[in-house]
Chains A and B, each alone.
Chain A
Amino acid sequence: MKPAEINVTVDGARRKSADLPAPVRQAVEQAIVANRGRPGALMPILHAVQEALGHVPPDALALIAQGLNLTRAEAHGVATFYPHFRSAPPGRTVVRICRAEACQALGARALEAHAKQTLGIDFHETTGDGAITLEPVYCLGNCGCGPSLLVGHDELHARVTPAAFDELIKTARAAT
C-alpha cells in the first residue's frame, strides 16, 4: 500500500510528500511494506531506512509516522532517543572509538585525544573533506583487547595505538 499524500515540512518549507526526493520516498515505502506487519515495527523501519540512506532524514520521519499511524512527534521522539540513528548524512567512513572503562585501562583516553587532534574534529563531527565522521561508542564487546575501534558497520579493530589509528585513517581515506 502506498502512503497517501501528506504535507511535510522540509527546511522550513511546506511540501507535498510526492515532492520529496525519490530515494527517500522509496526507502521509506520499502521499509514500511517490509515491516508493517511486525509488532513494534518502528525500530526495524528506522534501521532499514538508515541502512538504505545512511541516515534518517527528517522528512522520512514524517512519512514513517504517517505509514504507522503515529504522530510525527512520536516518530521524532523515538528516532532522536537512540544515538545510532542520525538525522544528517555522515562522512564517507564512520569511525567509532570505544570510550568505556576496559578500553580506558589500555589507553583509550589517549587514543581519543589523538584522534580528535589529528582529525581536527570533535565527536559527532565530520572532517572538512567529508572523509571521516568520528563517533564515541560505549563498548564494542572487545574488552579483552582494547583500545577498540569500529570502522564502518562491522570492521572491528583491537589494540589500536595512535600509530595504528593513523594507518586506519590513511586506508579509509584512500579507499573512499
Chain B
Amino acid sequence: MSAVKIFVPRDATALALGAERTARAIADAARQRGVEVELVRNGSRGMFWLEPLVEVATPGGRIAYGPVRPADVASLFDANFLHGGAHALRIGAVAEQPWFRGQQRLCFARVGVTDPLSVDDYVAHGGYRGLRNALAMSGADIVEAVTAAGLRGRGGAAFPTGIKWKTVLDANPEKSLQPSALGPQPSKYIVCNADEGDSGTFSDRMLMEGDPLCLIEGMTIAGVAVGATQGYIYLRSEYPHAQRALNAAIANACAAGWLGTNVGGSGKHFDVEVRLGAGAYICGEETSLLDSLEGKRGQVRFKPPLPAIRGLFGKPTAINNVISFASVPIILDRGAPFYRDYGVGRSRGTLPIQLAGNLRHTGLIEKAFGVTLRELLYDYGGGSLSGRPIRAVQVGGPLGAYLPESQFDTVVDYEAFAAVGAMLGHGGIVAFDDSVDMLEQARYAMEFCAVESCGKCTPCRVGSTRGVEVIDRIKANIERGKNLALLDDLCNTMRHGSLCALGGLTPDPVVSALKYFAEDFEPRTGTA
C-alpha cells in the first residue's frame, strides 16, 4: 500500500495555533502504528477557527479534520481518519464548506491545496501556464493583457498595473544609466513590495507561504514583459516563515529551469532575490522601499520622477504588491476577459479579503469585488468573537477610516469605499466590538504615525506627536472646544502637507472616529 498523503499547514497562523506539534504527533502515531504516511506541509485554506486543519487524501477526495490538537491524533487514527472515517472533528471536503463555496479563488487557487515548495505540484495545478504563454508573446502584448484585465494595484493604491508596466516598458534606461563599481548592472528592475505592515492584512504572507511560486511566476512574467532581468522581493523581517518558503521556492524554480539565464527554455534571463526589511512600516511606501533596498534609510522620495522612470538604483522599475504579481499568472493563462469578467465598476477581478480582529470566523476569502461589508462581517465572519455587537470596523490598515454599523452596506469596490471617505487598501478588515474606546483608537493612529514616520516631512514627523498631545488634552477635558478645533486643523495640515500616505492618511482614522463616534470624545465622568 502506498503512503497516505496527510496535509498539515505550515502557514504562520496555523503554526501559532500548534500545527507543528500536530504534525509531529501524526508522524509519531503513524510510526507507532506501522502506518505509512506522507506529510505534506501545505499553506492554510484560510479558515483560521479550524486550524490546525488536517486534510487526508482518500480515494474519495480530500477529507478535512479540524482543529486537530496533538491530543486528538490517537482518536483520529482509531476512527480510521486515513480513510475519511467519522470523527467529531471531521469537516468533510473543504470545497463544500459554506465559507468556501461562495469564493472565487483565482489568486489563491493553489494555497492550501499544493505543496508550496514543489515545482511539480505547482505545474500539475496549472502553474507556469501563464509564463509559457507570456514567453511566446511580445512585451507590449503581455502589458496589454494585464491592462485589459483591469488589474489594479492590490497593495492599496489601486493604480492600474498595466499602465505602470507600460511606463517601464517604454522607459529608456540609457537616459538613467549610471556607472557602477560592481560592473554591468541590470537596466530595469522588478521589485515586489512584500512589506505587508498594515494591521489586519496577511494575504501576502499567506500567499508567500502557501504558493510562493505563484508570486515568482508573476514577477517573471513582469520581467519578460518590460525587459528586466533582476527581481527583488522586499520582505518584512517579521515574516521569517515566508522568508524560508520564498528562498526554498526560488532555489527549486532555479533548479527546474524556471529562473536563471534560460527561463523555461526561452533563452530569456530572470533572477529573483529576497531582501529583508528591518521593522520600518514606512518601507511599505514604494519610494522608501527602494531607498531601503539600495542600503539607505527608508525615507520617502519626492515624486516625480516615478519609480517606473527612475526607480531602484536610478533604473526604470516595476514595483508592485505581492497580490498584484500573483494575480498575473492566471490573467496570462486564462486571458484578460476571464479575469475582467469578475468584479464591479472599475474594480475588476477578485480581491483576497482578510477578516481579522474580533470576529468568530477569521481568515482569508477571495471574492470578486462587489460583496458588502455586512456579508463579510456576519455571513462569513459570523459576527463578533466576544458575542457583543460589532461597533466599529477599520478597513485598509492603520491609515484606514473607522466605519460604524450605518456604513456596513458599503460594497467592496475601490470607488464605493472612496465615496464614504474610506479606503479598501489591501483588503484587511478589522472588527471591534462595543468595548472599543474610539478616542483611544484615534490617539493610537497618531501614536503609530509618530513611531513610524520616516521624518522627512514636518506635517507627519511633528504633526503626529502634536496629535497625540491634542487628543490627550481632549481626553482630559482641557479647553475642549479649542483643542477639537486644533485637531481638525492639524489633520487638515497633515492631509494636505505630508509627502506620502503615512502622514497624509493618518487623519482618516482620527477624523472618522470623531465623525462617527463623537460620544467617545465627550467629557468623561470621573476624569478631570
Contact = CB atoms under 8 A, between A and B. Distances in A.
A77 B294 CA distance: 14
A143 B201 contact: yes
B358 A105 contact: yes
A159 B14 CA distance: 12
A6 interface: no
Interface string B287-302: 0000011111111000
Contact of B297 (A37, A81, A103, A150): A81
Contacts of B13: 141-142, 144-145, 156, 158
Interface in A91-107: 100-106
B180 A84 contact: no
Interface in A121-176: 137-146, 148, 150, 153-154, 156-159
A83 interface: yes
A43 B292 contact: yes
Contacts of B239: 141
Interface string A31-44: 00000010111111
A46 interface: yes
A143 B241 contact: no
Contacts of A105: 356-358, 430-433, 436
A101 B278 contact: no
Given A81-B297, A148-B16, A143 B448 contact: no
A43 B276 contact: yes
B451 A138 contact: yes
Nearest to A135: B279
A142 B196 CA distance: 12
Interface string B445-457: 0001001101000
B428 interface: yes
Interface string A67-110: 01000000001100111110000000000000011111110010
A49 B146 CA distance: 41
Contacts of B238: 137, 139-141, 150
Interface residues of A, number: 43
A146 B17 CA distance: 11
Nearest to A109: B440
B357 A47 contact: no
B16 A101 contact: no
Contacts of B431: 105
Contact of A144 (B279, B354, B454): B354
A41 to B, nearest CB: 6
B109 interface: no
Contacts of A138: 197, 199, 281, 398, 448, 451-452
A84 B238 CA distance: 9
B380 to A, nearest CB: 12
A44 B51 CA distance: 34
Contacts of A44: 275-276
B48 A156 contact: no
Interface of A: 37, 39-44, 46-47, 68, 77-78, 81-85, 100-106, 109, 137-146, 148, 150, 153-154, 156-159
Among all A-B residue pairs, the 5 with the closest Cβ atoms: A144-B362, A100-B199, A42-B295, A82-B278, A105-B357
Given A143-B356, A158-B13, 19 more contacts: A47-B278, A78-B295, A81-B298, A84-B237, A105-B432, A139-B201, A140-B12, A141-B239, A142-B202, A143-B362, A144-B355, A144-B359, A145-B51, A145-B362, A148-B16, A154-B241, A156-B13, A158-B16, A159-B17
Interface of B: 12-13, 15-17, 48, 51, 180, 182, 185, 196-202, 204-205, 237-241, 275-281, 292-299, 313, 354-359, 362-363, 385, 394, 398, 428, 430-433, 436, 440-441, 444, 448, 451-452, 454
18 contacts: A37-B182, A43-B292, A78-B296, A81-B280, A82-B277, A82-B278, A84-B237, A100-B199, A101-B430, A101-B444, A105-B431, A138-B281, A141-B201, A143-B354, A143-B357, A144-B362, A156-B12, A158-B13
